[in-house]
Amino acid sequence: ISMIVFMVVAGTPPAMAEVVMFAVMFAVLLYFTISYMSAFNPGGGK
């Protein structure tokens, strides 16, 4: 997955790459946060 992201970022302008990287990092952080919460709160996640 990281390789695909790297390839996409490499083919985009610096400014756009920064936005893409931020979006990816935010999505990953959000995903892990939700997983972490649901792990300690069965049935409350989804």
Reading the chain (46 residues) residue by residue, the pLDDT tens digits are 677 677 666 666 777 778 888 899 999 999 998 888 877 766 654 5
Task: Find out whether 43 and 35 touch, Cβ atoms under 8 Å.
Answer: no
pTM score of the predicted model: 0.48
Neighbour-count burial for 10-40, b at 16+ CB within 10 Å, e otherwise: eeeeeeebeeeeeeeeeeeeeeeeeeeeeee
- The answer as to whether 46 is a domain residue is no
Domain assignment present for residue 45? The answer is: no
> Is 8 inside any structural domain?
yes
- pLDDT value at position 9? 66
The domain total for the chain is 1
